Amino acid sequence: MLCGAALANASTALGGASVDLTELRAVQGVLVAVATPLLLMGANLREIVRGAGPLLPGFAVGSLGTLAGAFIGVSLLGDGLADALGALAGAAGSDPSAGLAPHVEVAGVSAALAAKNIGGGFNFVAVAESAGVSSPAVALALAADNIAALVYFPLNSYLAGPSLNAKQEGSEFQGGPQIADYSSAEELTLALAVSLAIVVAVSGSGAGGNTIAVASAATIALATASPRTFEPLRAPGATLARVLLGLFFASAGLAGGRVAGIDPGALIYVGALLLVIYAAHIGAVALAQVTLNMTPLNAAIVSNAAVGGPATAAALASAKGADPTPAVLVGNLGNAAATFLALAALPALCAAAGVG
């Protein structure tokens, strides 16, 4: 994303042609739509509930805290965010009449950031696409969230407490699904074909602007109903999804235009929104730790799974000498649920932003 933004700014400075955002947005929509089923091919809800059961109540409380933080942040900062995002669109050379009204964009950005901090970057992208958030706002929000993560993850590791004892460390990788690092060309092709079939079927069903959400639901249902069919597609699906989302993030930086040269006030307002979201999330997880009698490590894993996703949660569990399997499973649940939760909260966020 940084390279794309740098290229866009260099091209503008040298008098180069501007990027056609209409066509680029269409390509971004295809990338996200195809990546959605690929990322969810391992989202077997029965396996998640069975393997991550003790962590699920804490995860639910933390997710509600994230949504509450988004609502509070928009209620407090809505007008300032609207002004900042409106100025961002003008600085990036966008036609204000062609995009969302500023207050509607505030709600979309806040919903996308809530999804990111319940599931992961994929959920941010899915909600931003569904809500029609502009490319400059996507680039700015992702940049702000990346900065916030530099503070969050060290804090999360500290709150997790010391590593477990050596006896527990020796059993940290026993049990649980293992995902291969290598996928053959045939496996990659099959995963892509299944993803395309799901997206085409959903698109033809009249889902309209809800294609990504419906494709997510369809993939989760299929992975849960027929895990033996979809389990072999988990690793190649994740590999292809990383490639497609990498292309999306690069294009988000490119389409963001002159984000690096705008008034830093826009970044400050989005940063303030994130501060409220993170504070509410951490507060909710702390409450869950006390009321549900969770260990500091389990509370930190739940929070990490929401904010970072399965990979970072598993890394935290492993580093502390715990079995990473429940962390992976609860992270997968976040990926499966975050898009729906954020889109369900979108009307309330619109009301908080002052959208009539």
Separation between Cα atoms, residue 70 and residue 2, nearest integer Å: 26
The Cα–Cα gap between 103 and 83 comes to: 9
pLDDT score of 347: 94
Query: Cα–Cα distance between 155 and 150 in angstroms, integer?
Result: 9
On whether residue 32 sits in a domain, the answer given is no
Contact 237, 55 (CB under 8 A): no
Let me know if residue 158 belongs to a domain.
Answer: yes
Phi/psi at 15 (5° precision): 80, 20
Q: Is residue 174 part of a domain?
A: no
Looking at residue 209, what is its pLDDT? 64
Q: Check residue 174 and give its pLDDT.
A: 40
112 domain residue, yes or no: yes
**Domain tally for the chain?**
1
In a domain, 263, yes or no: yes
Which letter does DSSP use for residue 19 in this model?
Answer: P
Q: Digits of tens for pLDDT over the chain (356 positions)?
A: 556 555 655 555 555 555 555 666 677 778 888 888 888 888 888 888 888 888 999 999 999 999 999 999 999 998 888 888 877 665 555 544 445 678 889 999 999 999 999 998 888 988 988 888 887 888 888 888 888 888 999 999 999 988 875 344 433 334 444 444 567 888 899 999 999 999 999 887 776 667 788 888 899 999 999 999 998 998 898 888 888 877 776 766 555 544 445 556 778 889 999 999 999 999 999 999 999 999 999 999 999 999 988 888 888 988 888 888 898 889 889 988 999 999 999 999 999 988 65
Would 75 be classed as within a structural domain?
yes
Q: Are 222 and 195 in contact (CB under 8 A)?
A: no
**Domain range for residue 160?**
2-15+52-165+254-352
16 CB neighbour count, 10 Å cutoff = 11
Distances (CA, A) of 92 to 21, 270, 332: 11, 17, 35
Residue 72 belongs to a domain? yes
Residue 6: predicted pLDDT: 59
pTM of the shown model: 0.78
**The pLDDT value given to residue 324:** 86
| Inside any domain, residue 242 | no
Q: Are the beta carbons of 219 and 198 closer than 8 angstroms?
A: yes
C-alpha–C-alpha distance, residues 249 and 125, integer Å: 9
Judge whether 215 and 197 are in contact, CB under 8 Å: no
